[in-house]
Amino acid sequence: MNKIVNENTPVQESKSGFVLGKKNYIILAAGFALIIIGFVLMAGGKSEDPNVFNPELFNFRRITLAPILILIGFIVEIFSIMWRPKTKE
């Protein structure tokens, strides 16, 4: 179905370029960095000998800090996609 546009109706022109603004991409990159840092902090804790248990597997960094950083990173990602900068009128 085609819309008929008369002379008095304002027509919005589509902008070429990125969907999100520059600030959105900066926030998106910060969220991605938080996620990567969380996964790096979660890595490790392996025992050299498979018959010996390494208690470092269950320390604060791997059990608490890393998952919190990853969760914050995903929240920042959602925020960066949903946030709309104020427009100048």
Number of domains making up the chain: 1
pLDDT of residue 28: 96
Q: Is residue 11 part of a domain?
A: no
Domain of residue 43 covers 31-82
Q: Residue 2 above 90 pLDDT?
A: no
The predicted-structure confidence for 6-55, as pLDDT tens digits, reads as follows 666 665 555 657 888 899 999 999 999 999 999 999 998 888 888 988 88
Residue 88 belongs to a domain: no
pTM: predicted TM-score of the whole model, two decimal places: 0.73
The vertex-20 CA angle with 17 and 22, nearest 5°, equals 90
For the chain, the three-class secondary structure string (H helix, E strand, C coil) is CCCCCCCCCCCCCCCCCCCCCHHHHHHHHHHHHHHHHHHHHHCCCCCCCCCCCCHHHHCHHHHHHHHHHHHHHHHHHHHHHHCCCCCCC
The confidence score (pLDDT) of residue 86 equals 77
Most confidently modeled range among 3-7, 49-53, 56-60, 62-66: 62-66
13 domain residue, yes or no:
no
Single out the residue of 84, 82, 70, 85 nearest to residue 31, CA to CA: 70
C-alpha 89/C-alpha 87 separation (Å) is 6
